[in-house]
Amino acid sequence: AGDGDCGHTHARAARAIQEWMHTRPPPAAPAQLLSALADLLLEKMGGSSGVLYGLFLTAAARPLLNRNDLPAWADAMDAGIEAMQRYGGAAPGDRTMLDSLCAAAQALCALRSPGADLLPVLAAAVQSAEAAAEATKHMEAGAGRASYISSAQLLQPDPGAVAAAAVLRAVLEGLRS
């Protein structure tokens, strides 16, 4: 919303994740990793973003309990988004992090195709998320903190959408290295 709160909240989360990774190895099983991250963000991130990421990760862990194939990751993304929408009340087009996440999820559907290749699909998802984040610049806020601010004052892309796209880019870069 332009007041720096979103950046401070995400920086707090990043520091908490870095500290966590330095104190103990993260769980190797994907479902346990996402559940542990959910707990960490719920405890340390704060704000509505911490709650929403916690909901997202908790729901995303479920499809990964008994599977770890590429289609399961697409299912995990869909489950996380569905939880955010159900409990957060926002939808794509409301100028929130869901705009980025939903755009990425559409691209991640390609993981359900036989012979899908993770890195190119994830790269396309990141590009979609970044484009969707930029597109929020021209949207009227229908939910979230920005919905309390006059549209005339919302001159930048939604910070939550930008942050969600940045998280996805970091995942991609981490997998590439």
Confidence of residue 1 (pLDDT cuts 50, 70, 90): very low
pLDDT, tens digit (0-9, with 9 covering 90-100), for 128-162: 999 999 998 876 655 555 544 545 445 678 888 99
Alpha carbon distances (Å) from 161 to 51, 67, 70, 138: 15, 29, 24, 13
Domains of the chain with bracketed CATH? 5-176 (1.25.40.340)
Q: What is the pLDDT of residue 88?
A: 87
CB contact set of 40 (below 8 Å; sequence gap of 6+): 16, 17, 20
Q: What is the pLDDT, as a whole number, of residue 164?
A: 95
Which amino acid, one-letter code, is at 131?
A: A
Mean pLDDT of 83-95: 90
Given pLDDT bands bounded at 50, 70 and 90, which one contains residue 7? confident
Residue-wise pLDDT for 20-76, tens only, equals 999 999 999 999 999 999 999 999 998 888 999 999 999 999 999 999 899 999 999
* pLDDT the model gives residue 50: 92
- Per-residue tokens: 119: 């890195």
Per-residue pLDDT of 62-77, as tens digits, reads 999 999 899 999 999 9
Cβ proximity of 91 and 143 under 8 Å: yes
Q: Within the chain, how many helices (H) and strands (E) appear?
A: 7, 0
Distance CA 164, CA 52 (A): 11
